[in-house]
Every structure is written in structure tokens, then in C-alpha cells.
Structure 1
Amino acid sequence: MTYLSPILVGVLYALAMSLIREPHRRRFNAIMVAGAGAAYLTGGGLGGWEFLATAVITYVAYRGLESWTFIGIAWLLHTAWDLLHHFKGNPIMPFYHESSLACAVCDPVIALWCLRGGPSLISLVRGRTARPRAAEHAPPS
């Protein structure tokens, strides 16, 4: 469950974000990853490095306002920061010791979705399950 639940959370995040239309979806995700970059500021245990990491992730997220690639990169930077906290710092949720590891598993799922351009998963599912119309498959006259 340590690995399966965070993967599911990442997929559910992408699914929920699919409800937001473009270009708002991209911009909203840039704001989300910028916020995630600041998650450890209140006690991550790595001192001044917390501010530097937050500044870097925020800058990359800002570039993500116009680029899904930068949003994906920001999520991968946050993944690295999560791993560092799991091994050397404090967990993102003090009451759940494995929370930084769980975040480090979830974030790359979101990053992969972003690096693919943040497509609507709802549209992808509908496109695969939609039945073709009879006229589309009628033999040519």
C-alpha cells in the first residue's frame, strides 16, 4: 500500500484536473506545483535549503504557466525534494512518517501526465469507449 495508494492518488489527481478546461488546466497546475514546492517551509528540517528549493520550484512552476513541460519538471524537482526529506529531513506530514516517500511516489505520476501535455483523461476514456456510428463504417458507395 505504501506504493499503490500514492500511484492511485496521482491518477485521481490527473482525473480531477481533467475536469478543468484548457488553458486553465495548465495554469491551475502551475499554481498547484508552486504550492507543493512550499510544503516543507514550515518544518522540513533542512534549514535555509528549504527556501532555495522553494524558490527554484516556484520559478520552474512560473515557467509552467505557459508550458506543460516546465510543470512536469517542477513535479520531478519536488519528487527529488521529497526523497531528500524522506532520508534526511522531516516528513511532509509529521503524523505520517512515510508521507514524504508517498509523495515521492505520487509526484512522478503527475509529472508524467504533465510531460504528456496534461491531456484530459476523461476525453481519452470517452474516446476509447465511444461506439462508432454506423455511417462512419458504412461501405463506400
Structure 2
Amino acid sequence: MSILGPVLIGLLYAALNSFIPSRHRRPFNALMVAGAGAAYLSGGAFGPLELAFTTVMTVVAFRGLSSWRWIGVGWLLHTAWDVAHHLRGEPLLPFAHDSSFGCAICDPVIALWCFAGGPSVADIIRRRVNRDSAGRIPSSG
């Protein structure tokens, strides 16, 4: 499986979040990380540990309602769970052998975006333009 695809999916996820108003963006992402925590429940590869992981992710998602940092932590925890399932041979999507591997590549991209505060694409461009213009010497004339 290519690494580029999952990275692009993570970037697309962040970009699509730009369409969610900023006041709703963090709660939406807290729900997404809670859902990710339950993604492997039906497979049951790790037995009762699957329930324990879902419980931990629910607590992390709840904390994420008020903190982007916790949402980022949730995506990194999910990355570890993806790796465990990939190594065990129990992928997220049973019909896609490398789906857990791809998820383990995608999730840290989303986590980095969360650690940055979940900015919209417009916010990122605005910051870049402001930073670039702040470093210029004004011309006289």
C-alpha cells in the first residue's frame, strides 16, 4: 500500500473540515475520534481489550470537547491500535488487507492538524500571508 494515499486522505480530512464553522469543528472532531475508538469492535481481535480501548477513547473524546490536544491524543492512540491490528492480521476493513496500515499513516496527519488547533485552510493561508508580510522591509517611496 502506498503511503501517499493515506497522507492525502488525512490532508483532505483537514481541508474538508474547513467547511465546518469553527465553533462546531472541535465538537465534530471529538465525535469523530470517539467513533474511531469503536471502529474495531465488531472484529473483536483483542477480545475484552477492544472494549477497554473504546472506553479510553470515549474518555479522550469527552475531553476533546474542550481541547484540540485531547483530540490529537485520541488520533495517536488510534494509530497505535491500527498498528496492533495490522500486525495481528485483523484489518479495520476485512476486505482490505492493508486498511489498518493505511489508517495508521492517515491518523497522525489528522493528529498534527488537531495539535495545531484544527485550523481551516483559510486560517492556514492567512497565517502564512501574515508571517510572510511581517518579515518584509517596507519600501520607501
For Structure 1 versus Structure 2, the TM-score category normalised by the shorter chain is: 0.7 to 0.9
SS in 2 for 1:66: coil
Are 2:136 and 1:118 equivalent residues in the alignment? no
Structure 1 position 88, deviation (Å): 1.5
| Matches of 1:101 and 1:114, distance apart in 2 | 21
Map of 1:49 onto structure 2: 49
Matches of residues 10-29 of structure 1 in structure 2 within 5 Å?
Answer: 10-29=10-29
**Bigger mean CA deviation after superposition, 83-92 or 4-13:** 83-92
| Matches of 1:116 and 1:127, distance apart in 2 | 12
Instruction: Give the TM-score taking structure 1 as reference length.
Output: 0.87
Tell me the number of residue pairs that the alignment of Structure 1 and Structure 2 aligns: 135
Matches of residues 49-128 of structure 1 in structure 2 within 5 Å?
Answer: 49-125=49-125, 128=128
Structure 1: 4+ residue segments shifted above 4 A = 126-130, 137-140
Contact 1:44 1:92 in 2 (8 A): no
Identity %: 56
Question: RMSD value over aligned CA atoms?
Answer: 2.0
| Matches of 1:89 and 1:27, distance apart in 2 | 33
Query: What are the ranges of 5 or more consecutive residues in structure 2 without an aligned counterpart?
Result: none
Contact 1:44 1:85 in 2 (8 A): no
Structure 1 position 42, deviation (Å): 0.5
SS in 2 for 1:18: helix
SS in 1 for 2:22: coil
Output one character per residue of 1:90-129: Cα deviation in whole Å (capped at 9) or x when no partner: 1000000000000000000000000111111233236657
Q: Which amino acid aligns with 2:30?
A: A
| Matches of 1:121 and 1:33, distance apart in 2 | 21
Map of 2:34 onto structure 1: 34
| Matches of 1:44 and 1:84, distance apart in 2 | 12
Q: Which amino acid aligns with 1:3?
A: I
Instruction: Give the TM-score taking structure 2 as reference length.
Output: 0.87
